Structure 1
Amino acid sequence: MLTGCALPRHYPEVTFHANGKTIRVEPAVYCDIEGNNCAERTKPAQLKVPAGKVVQISVDGQLADGLWEAVFLYKKANGEQTTTGTGLLGKGENFTYTLALPDKGDQLQGIEVHEAAAAVLDTGQPLLRGYWAVEVTN
């Protein structure tokens, strides 16, 4: 359960759909708009995604109006682990994303959706406001 006195009572949710199952996920970590006063949830959601299957990701309006990205970890058929992502999405234009791995033999292992805060790091990258985590089983 998320707690924190400075945070809203309603946390944005992200919907993941794969292999005929849909789950709605609350953030694993969620902070105020400046990236402070963070609340955490310890257990990631789980979703079964067999190799070669796609995952539909849908964010609520609050995330879609800002900046968000999906980052995913997968194992290639040769056993090599790879992490990649979508790049920044949102600005009121992107409510959904279809995650399809490059090859049918690739096995998805995990997904995180990141929301950017109003603050920017010294590197110029947006500060992470929150993230939604899904552990993938096959």
Structure 2
Amino acid sequence: MRRLASVLAASVLVLTGCALPRHYPEVTFYANGKTIRVEPAVYCDLNGDNCAERGKPAQLKVPAGKVVQISVDGQIANGIWEAVFLYREANGQEKTSGTNLLGKGEDFTYTLALPNKTDQLLGIEIHEAAAAVMQTGEPLLRGFWAVEVTG
């Protein structure tokens, strides 16, 4: 009986105070023979509230003209997500571009290829939409994953 009481007490401690860390969905980036898995820089609850900053952007070397393959966690793919990227054209002009909305259980991957072979990718963000929308009708951001690109 005493042994059962100590097991129950230990179980209560585990359930109340020592919960396992929360798993955040990851995004995988592959370019130039290197793969990195990235946790969100910011991640919120499903309604876009209670946000936690998770850290700095990851870094990935991507020479001009190379593609980046992006693969999102199933949790992200079942919702709505997009890839937004910054790049520099050969003439030095910086541009921002992005995908249409992806996901809905259909899009787990995306291949990012810039318009011209001489364009240099500078950064990538993956945005996951929350269940809520802003007054403009745009989805509220739930989380984002950031990668700084070196040439």
Query: TM-score per shorter chain, which class?
Result: over 0.9
Query: Match for residue 11 of structure 2?
Result: none
Q: Does 1:29 align with 2:42?
A: yes
Where 1:114 maps in the other structure, the secondary structure is strand
Where 2:77 maps in the other structure, the secondary structure is helix
Where 1:42 maps in the other structure, the secondary structure is coil
Deviation at 1:67, TM superposition (A): 0.1
Q: Does 1:109 align with 2:122?
A: yes
Query: Match for residue 66 of structure 1?
Result: 79
Query: Match for residue 43 of structure 1?
Result: 56
**For residues 86 and 79 of structure 1, what CA distance do their matches in structure 2 show?**
22
Among candidates 111, 122, 133, match of residue 98 of structure 1: 111
Q: Does 1:133 align with 2:115?
A: no
Shift >3 Å, 4+ stretches: none
Deviation per CA, 1:30-79: give whole Å up to 9, x if none. Answer: 00000000000231100000000000000010000000000000000110
Where 1:62 maps in the other structure, the secondary structure is helix
**For residues 88 and 82 of structure 1, what CA distance do their matches in structure 2 show?**
19
- Percent identity of paired positions between Structure 1 and Structure 2: 81
Q: Per residue, is there more helix in 1 or in 2?
A: 2
| TM-score under structure 1 length normalisation | 0.93
| TM-score under structure 2 length normalisation | 0.85
Q: Per residue, is there more strand in 1 or in 2?
A: 1
Q: Does 1:86 align with 2:114?
A: no
Where 2:75 maps in the other structure, the secondary structure is helix
Look up the equivalent residue of 2:23 and give its one-letter code: H
Deviation per CA, 1:104-125: give whole Å up to 9, x if none. Answer: 0000000000000000000100
Aligned length: 131
Q: Which ranges in structure 1 are unaligned for 5 or more consecutive residues?
A: 1-7
Look up the equivalent residue of 1:108 and give its one-letter code: L
